[in-house]
Structure 1
Amino acid sequence: MRKYLFCLIIGLFIAGQTEVKGQYYDQTLGFRGGTSFEVSYKRFIFFTPNIQQAIEGLIGLQIDEGISFPSVLYDAPQNNGYVFEALWVFHIDLGFDTDFSGFAGAGGYLGAYTETGRDPFFGGGFTAVVGVEYTFSHAPVSVSVDWKPIIGYPRLSLARGGVTLRWILPTTWQ
């Protein structure tokens, strides 16, 4: 009888330890693919019960999708470039699941671009971001889908989006 009771207590202890709530994390490192291919680093700096604020830095290759209003009349030159972006992002829990959060933010970008038939040049401007993020409960991974329009030089572009896969970096909470 004691053997069965001991096994039951150990089994309940192990089962209790495997229950994991949605992960709250401090910082992530990941890869963003879509209309740009960038390495992403995000760090949360303010935590409140309803809204969390983070800064995000991205560096990589921005692809010109070639979609602009005049391009229906003629072939627009392509502006591909190496860019650095910095964003201030607000995360809000969506309510139906603790692992989902919506986010919105804004920031700026700088880049070195090459246009078809021209010398390389520098550009920059303003960028905004809106999207949703899912954080897996049993793995240190989060996935987000976003829409990120840009306004600046070389031009305005509203047709920008992507998927970001991030690894949650270990944190020691104090």
Structure 2
Amino acid sequence: MKKYSLVIFAIVLASFTMNAQQYKTGLGLRGGLANGITVKHFIGEQAALEGIVSSRWAGFGVTGLYEMHYPAFDTQGFFWYWGGGGHLGFWNGNDAAWADDDQSYTVIGADGILGLEYNFSEVPLNISLDWKPAINFVGHSGFWFDGGGLSIRYLFR
């Protein structure tokens, strides 16, 4: 009975290991309506922190996210993820499409994220596509549905 228990334990442990992310940190570029730099760092088997510095409307924003990753499509290298966090942004009203005055804006808000990620096994790169809606609580309040992006990262394993 002990032999069977040990074999079952080894199989379960191996299945969790195979589902783990294949890198520790990724650094790269993010494109979309807001373009910028992204860094993602895993703090556990499935949990990661992502930081994004982006530019839009002649201003910039900083976003911090906590994300959970899970295997997708029963395909090695594919993962889906979701999470949330917050942002801080600075814009000039003259350059923002949504502003109707000449004042500058400092905004603080919350973000969600839902996406797919693929880690290439041949080269230390990954690509991700996500939707990142946001809501501003301070500054110009409002809900933004258009926060999606495509990211390409160099992976540090």
Spell out the pairing of 1:13-28 with structure 2 (5 A cutoff).
24-28=22-26
**Structure 1-normalised TM-score?**
0.70
Please report how far the alpha carbon of residue 92 of structure 1 lies from its aligned counterpart in structure 2 after TM superposition. 0.4
Letter in 1 for 2:55: L
The one-letter code matched in structure 2 to 1:158 is F
Cα distance change on mapping 1:23 and 1:160 into 2, 3 Å? closer
How far residue 23 of structure 1 moved from its aligned partner, in angstroms, is 7.1
Residues of 2 paired with 1:29 and 1:96: CA distance? Answer: 26
Q: Is the 8 A contact 1:62 1:82 kept in 2?
A: yes
After TM superposition, give the deviation of residue 106 of structure 1 in Å: 0.2
Alignment of 1:50-89 (within 5 A): 52-63=46-57, 80-89=58-67
Cα-to-partner distance string for 1:67-112 (whole Å, 9 max, x where unaligned) = xxxxxxxxxxxxx531000000000011420110000010000011
- What is the rounded CA distance, in whole Å, between the counterparts of 1:95 and 1:161 in structure 2? 21
3-state SS of paired residue (2:44):
strand
Aligned equivalent of 1:33: 31
Partner of 2:107: 123
Identify the match of residue 107 of structure 1 among 85, 96, 100. Answer: 85
Question: Corresponding residue for 1:92?
Answer: 70
Structure 2 residue 117 is matched with structure 1 residue 133:
yes
Distance in 1 (alpha carbons) for counterparts of 2:21 and 2:51: 21
Alignment gaps of 5+ in structure 2: 1-19, 95-100
Of residues 136, 140, 149, the one that matches 1:162 is: 149
Instruction: State the secondary structure of the residue aligned to 2:43.
Output: strand
CA deviations on 1:102-128 (whole Å, 9 max, x unpaired) are 000100000111112412221110000
Letter in 2 for 1:168: L
For the pair shown, which has the larger CA radius of gyration, 1 or 2?
Answer: 1
In structure 1, the gaps of 5 or more residues are 1-21, 64-79
Q: 1:143 to 1:88 in 2, by over 3 A?
A: same
Give me the TM-score of the superposition, normalised by structure 2.
0.77
Q: Please tell me the residue identity of whatever aligns with 1:87.
A: L
Q: Percent identity?
A: 30
Q: Name the count of aligned residue pairs.
A: 129
How large is the Cα RMSD of the aligned pairs?
1.7
Q: Does the 8 Å contact 1:59/1:82 carry over to 2? A: yes
CA contact (8 A) 1:23 1:136 kept: no
The ranges of structure 1 where at least 4 consecutive aligned residues each deviate by more than 2 angstroms after the TM superposition are none
Match of 2:14 in 1: none
